[in-house]
Amino acid sequence: MSDLTALTIAEALEGLKAREYTAEELTEEHIKSIEASRALNAFVLETPDQAVDDAKASDARRARGEVGALEGIPLGVKDLFCTKDVRTTACSHILENFVPPYESFVTRKLRAAGACFLGKTNLDEFAMGSSNETSYFGPVRNPWGQVVDDAGLVPGGSSGGSASAVAAGLCLGAIGTDTGGSIRQPAAFCGIVGMKPTYGRCSRWGIVAFASSLDQAGPMTRTVKDAAIMLGAMVGFDENDSTSAQNVVPDFQACLGQDIKGLRIGIPKEYRVEGMDQEIEALWTKGAGLLEEQGAEVIEISLPKTKYALPTYYIIAPAEASSNLARYDGMRFGLRVDGENLEETYMKTRAEGFGAEVRRRVLIGTYVLSAGYYDAYYLKAQKVRRIISEEFASAFDQVDAVLTPTAPTPAFSRGERTDDLISMYLNDVFTVPASLAGLPAISIPAGLSSHGLPLGLQLITRAFDESTLFRVAGALEEAAGWSPHPLKYQGS
């Protein structure tokens, strides 16, 4: 039997269908892979028994002829999704022992489609970070660190555990969440595909909230096709999320393999930012060339307020976070640290329960929402957000998709950016604009840096036009010739 952890989801579905192996065998191989790669710290909770039980149940369903879209596929789940009776922490001390009595919409859908969950993956605390260094359970290693002899190479964040796990062959795919780039940036750093759908496509029910007007779940996989397969099983209207979209869901796989002749691809000139790696700029140009060779028309476009997206995000996201995280008061669930009185209990619980970055963002958010500052910061940011959204809308009068780099640099070393908050925030400079506008976007691995680290390119399309997104991404992936083979981790 060949290495079952090196399969794509599409290949595994074929193999299961042809009875070349069972879901149980497929799952067992991944459990072994997880055990052999614990040094990555990609999983904060392994659930092998449940995974095997799920796989056996999947095999039984298949024998009865009941085959879901992800029947028997072992996946990793970011530890931000509530999983019934399985500990869910958001990688925060304050939720360290939280066991949800209910299942998130997205994980429920995936299970209904036949997926088997191998465990919960590591993330930046409450998804606040771009390097997975703020997790209460410790940092995650990027398997590509082996290539540059740096065990502390970061996987990006916040979905760093999911990205590392998919890249190293610990699971066939994983789910992440993206608020300002938390799926796309780690995907780029780890050499995998990461997709954030249109805001509202995936229900937020049961996802630990960070910034509710931005949070979206999405797939992280080794190919574009796998992302399309997974997304198809994650979406749908949910009456428990008031922002859940009621739009018709297309067959995301149907557009794969279609040519891109005549499609217009926009290159926003404002994305040529100061401090961008030369190699990344070269890759961006190469990517545009590859699309052009396949018959797409490449057009320079302008998104003038791009440089204001990041400061806008760093007002809106902390503001929403400060409101969302008010629920962690030590009374009904989560950590409680007793003080002399109620007030002191709140203060101590939240000081001890939240890590430094989360405390900082809650404080910033509290400040920008406080009396006297609301208009100057929060309302101002909401207005700039509208302008950024409208600039995208105008751009999409001219083009069908926008091509940009995913991140301004390849993966960096642990500790390299923790002293300079703004330099850490700048990681998200290319991903945040689409988040603010609620647009679907995907990062695909498109080349290597001179040091041998993966680099990603990002595509953005109109709201609810994931079909064009997958179509162009599939064409770019094929032209870029990236191998979907996992990079096994040998470190200890």
Partner 1 sequence: MSVDKSTVMRISQLARIEVPECDQDQLVDELNNILTWVEQLDEVDTEGVMPMSSGLPGAVLPQRDDLVSAENRQPDILRNAPVSRSGFFVVPKVIE
Burial of residue 486, with CB atoms counted within 10 A of its CB: 0-12 exposed, 13-18 middle, 19 or more buried: buried
Residues 6+ apart with CB under 8 A from 48: 31, 34, 118, 119
User: Active site residue: 130, 182, 203, 467, which one?
Assistant: 182
The least CB distance from residue 415 to partner 1, in Å, is 17
The least CB distance from residue 424 to partner 1, in Å, is 11
Residue 158: active-site member: yes
Residue 405 bridge partners (DSSP): 457
Nearer to partner 1, 63 or 342 (CB): 342
The least CB distance from residue 240 to partner 1, in Å, is 9
Nearer to partner 1, 199 or 252 (CB): 199
Kindly write down the DSSP assignment for every residue of 207-251, as one continuous string. BPPS-TTT-EEEEEESSHHHHHHHHHTT----TTSTT---SPPP-
User: Active site residue: 33, 37, 58, 78, which one?
Assistant: 78
Nearer to partner 1, 67 or 249 (CB): 249
Backbone angles phi, psi at 222, to 5 degrees: -100, -10
Nearer to partner 1, 12 or 364 (CB): 364
Nearer to partner 1, 258 or 418 (CB): 418
Contact 110, 9 (CB under 8 A): no
130, 125, 176, 143: which is closest to 41 by C-alpha?
A: 143
| Cis? peptide before 450, omega within 30° of 0 | no
Residue 78: active-site member: yes
Residue 492: active-site member: no
The least CB distance from residue 368 to partner 1, in Å, is 8
User: Active site residue: 158, 164, 203, 244, which one?
Assistant: 158
270, 326, 268: which is closest to 459 by C-alpha?
A: 268
Q: Edge-to-edge, what's the strand order for the sheet holding 264-268?
A: 43-46, 116-121, 74-78, 173-178, 216-221, 193-196, 441-448, 454-461, 401-405, 264-268, 297-301
The least CB distance from residue 140 to partner 1, in Å, is 24
Active site residues: 78, 158, 182
